[in-house]
A and B are shown apart, each in its own frame.
Chain A
Amino acid sequence: MDFWRVPLDADTIKVSLGIVHILEDRCKGCGYCIEYCPKQALELSTKFNQKGYHPPVVVKPEECVNCHYCEIICPEFAIFSVESPPITEPGRAGTHPNSAIKVK
């Protein structure tokens, strides 16, 4: 997660983290999930699904905060997020398992 400065309580506050699942063959490529993901974690993929649509692809997996908005805006039941176990290690709490705190 990017911070303008590392919050003083970064090691105690647990930001929820998510893992996104995409059921590619259900997607009709409307792009609603991509447009409204608050963390810009998704992008339209260049590949085609079975019906010839471009499904989304997770481009920033470490950014997903498991807000489920992609899941509830999708008209096709094609995308959802599940909680990823938070890290409790001092100084890294609230970050995704596969990322480190970055200061811009």
Chain B
Amino acid sequence: MQEIPKPSKKQPCHPLDDLIRTDRIPHIWCPGCGIGTVFSSCLAALKGSGINLGKTVMVSGIGCSGRAAGYVKLDSFHTTHGRAIPFATGLKLANPELNIVVFSGDGDLFAIGGNHFIHAARRNMDMTVICVNNLNYGMTGGQVAATTPYLAKSTTTPVGNPETPFNLPLMAYACGATYVARWTMLHTRDLTDSITEAIGKKGFSFIEALSPCPVNYGRRNKQKPLDMLKVYQKKAIIKNDADPSTLDIDFEKGIILGKFVDVDRPTFIEHYDKIYRPSRLQENVPGLNS
């Protein structure tokens, strides 16, 4: 038997410690779960983007990914299931000065919360939405999700998923998102650059981050944590500006990553103020007409 060491009294400080509620670390995510890496990438982007972090809010829904809001040392909301985007919309409309980052899971954002996503993108609500896509409902034990690949196994599709999954970037693009990108947690530098760019951009930005859920998805699909990372490494095809309709995830042929959409159009608030609050526009209220 080896001796179990006592907790070291003086630990060095991680460079992101100032953005983490360190009293809650280690976090709840399982060994090998990719959410922590996506979260770390998001924090690095927040830090590097130069925005006023005192006026930045992170909003999450329910799920393992949704726990992120509880670990960030910024104003944050851990909302009800599927409702991160409507909460975020309310925050932005009540206080247009705020920078809003929604960090949540594929089930939360695209199953129960699917309609909210569609309409926030359609309205071009000014926020950055980061979706940790781990291909299943991790938190509740690995049920099939709207993103589970065809034929993949889950607790509710024990012999294989008969459904066709969403192509998330296509959906975001079709709904009107002005910034759309996809990376994996292995491509963490690109992911961080993309999140930084999206945070600095006006309008509805969407970033899909593929990430392993070794405990619920990996185990049923015979994938150890490192196997999934090897797949990301071997099957990634970086193709910026790829046609969104070609972005179905195919682990055999390849997974297309990159920035697919980066356009400008007026945000919801800009339209609203033009029609309903023309005087406020003239007063130059911060954040309203930037």
Contact = CB atoms under 8 A, between A and B. Distances in A.
Interface of A: 21, 23-26, 28-32, 35-36, 46-53, 71-78, 80
B5 to A, nearest CB: 7
A26 B7 CA distance: 11
Interface of B: 2, 4-5, 7-8, 11-12, 14-17, 20, 25-27, 29-37, 39-41, 44, 185-186, 188-189, 192, 225-226, 229
> SS class of chain B's interface: helix, strand, loop or mixed?
loop
Contacts of B189: 72
Contacts of B192: 72
B37 A73 contact: yes
> SS class of chain A's interface: helix, strand, loop or mixed?
loop
B9 to A, nearest CB: 11
Given A25-B8, A32-B225, A75-B37, 4 more contacts: A25-B26, A30-B225, A36-B186, A50-B7
A73 B188 contact: yes
A74 B37 contact: yes
19 contacts: A23-B11, A23-B12, A26-B25, A26-B26, A28-B26, A28-B30, A28-B32, A29-B31, A31-B226, A32-B37, A47-B5, A49-B5, A50-B5, A71-B14, A72-B40, A74-B40, A75-B40, A78-B14, A80-B14
A32 B184 CA distance: 14
A50 B20 CA distance: 21
A32 to B, nearest CB: 7
Given A32-B229, A47-B5, A72-B192, A77 B31 contact: no
Contacts of A25: 7-8, 11, 26
Given A21-B12, A23-B14, A47-B2, A76 B229 contact: no
A47 B20 CA distance: 27
Contacts of A29: 31
A32 B226 contact: yes
Contacts of A30: 31-32, 225
Contacts of A73: 37, 185-186, 188
Contacts of A23: 11-12, 14
B8 A71 contact: no
Nearest to B226: A35
Contacts of B8: 24-25
